[in-house]
């Protein structure tokens, strides 16, 4: 017994090739929603998405195609929309059709983008000046409410942040929510003009901490005007997205 199903636009093309002659078999299955037959058989019964399609006599080794569509007008998007649990009923006999559609996820291979000469941040800083060295940091410490808020965020997410690498803060003539970072073996300096800038600088440190040694470098993030629904998220971390009224360039 052979069975295949293919997507063709809004149609599901089911081909049944029996291994013996079958007299007036019923093609039975379920789906994502109620279904009907438009060719190769006639829908005679159904309940919800369960469907029975009457077919003519089938001959051994001769393929027979049944064309199905979703009665609700849904267009099948992928193999999850194929008939579920397909079988044939011939009198009192139930013939399960073979599972020919692979089960489970089929992830697409990702392209090899090669080495990335930048920070694990999205988007990238406005300016980025590495010294070519890295620094192993176990965590950060500093006296500022914004840094305390980042530490609380890290704790909620189960991430490491608090340590002994000192972070100092200085006022600077920068746009609201912009900041500069200078990471050195002796400590990290944050320059900002607002609480938001200091907070986002702390989130950047938290992000860098999750990706191994920190770079000895200087970087700057500059905000531009944007809608209130923009979401800033670190690259490849589990930090909860932080909603803000800015985006980064």
Q: How far is CA 179 from the centre of its chain?
A: 30
The overall pTM is greater than 0.75 = no
Mean pLDDT of 159-183: 95
More confident of the two residues 62 and 128: 62
- Domain 127-248 grouped into CATH 3.30.379.10: yes
Mean pLDDT of 135-161: 95
Instruction: Give domain limits for the chain.
Output: 2-96, 127-248
| Bridge pairing between strands 231-232 and 214-221 | unpaired
Domains 2-96 and 127-248 in one fold: no
In this predicted structure, what is the pLDDT of residue 226?
40
- Domain 2-96 grouped into CATH 2.60.40: yes
Q: Which residues pair with 8 in a beta bridge?
A: 11
Residue 182 has pLDDT above 70, yes or no: yes
Sign of the CA dihedral with 83 first, then 84, 85, and 89 last: negative
Least confident of 85-89, 121-125, 142-146: 121-125
Cα–Cα distances in angstroms (integers) from residue 199 to residues 166, 172, 243, in the given order = 16, 15, 13
Name the DSSP class of 236: T
| Structure confidence at residue 213 as a pLDDT band (50, 70, 90) | confident
In this predicted structure, what is the pLDDT of residue 231?
35
Query: 79 near 101, Cβ under 8 Å?
Result: yes
In this predicted structure, what is the pLDDT of residue 124?
84
Sign of the CA dihedral with 58 first, then 63, 64, and 69 last: positive
Residue pLDDT, tens place only, 28-49: 999 999 999 999 999 999 999 9
CA atoms within 13 A on the CB side of 1: 13
Q: Which residues pair with 46 in a beta bridge?
A: 51
């Amino acid at each position: 017994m052979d069975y295949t199903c293919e997507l063709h636009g809004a149609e599901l093309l089911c081909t049944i090739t029996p291994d013996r002659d079958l007299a007036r078999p019923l093609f039975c299955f379920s789906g994502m929603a109620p279904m009907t037959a438009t060719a190769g058989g006639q829908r005679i019964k159904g309940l919800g998405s369960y469907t029975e399609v009457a077919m003519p006599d089938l001959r051994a080794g001769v393929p027979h195609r049944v064309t199905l569509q979703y009665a609700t007008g849904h267009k099948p998007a992928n193999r999850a929309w194929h008939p579920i649990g397909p079988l044939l009923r011939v009198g009192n006999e139930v013939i399960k059709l073979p599972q020919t559609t692979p089960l489970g996820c089929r992830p697409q291979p990702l392209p090899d983008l090669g080495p990335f000469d930048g920070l694990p941040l999205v988007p990238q800083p406005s300016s980025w000046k590495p010294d070519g060295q890295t620094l192993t940091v176990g965590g950060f410490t500093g006296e500022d409410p914004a840094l305390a808020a980042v530490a609380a965020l890290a704790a909620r997410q189960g991430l490491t942040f608090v340590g002994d690498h000192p972070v100092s803060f200085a006022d600077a003539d920068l746009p609201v929510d912009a900041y500069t970072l200078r990471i050195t073996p002796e400590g990290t300096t944050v320059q900002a003009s607002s609480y938001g800038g200091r907070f986002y600088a702390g989130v950047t440190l938290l992000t860098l901490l999750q990706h191994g040694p920190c770079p000895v470098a200087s970087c700057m993030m500059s905000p531009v005007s944007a809608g209130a629904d923009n979401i800033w998220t670190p690259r490849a971390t589990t930090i909860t997205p932080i909603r803000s009224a800015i985006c980064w360039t």
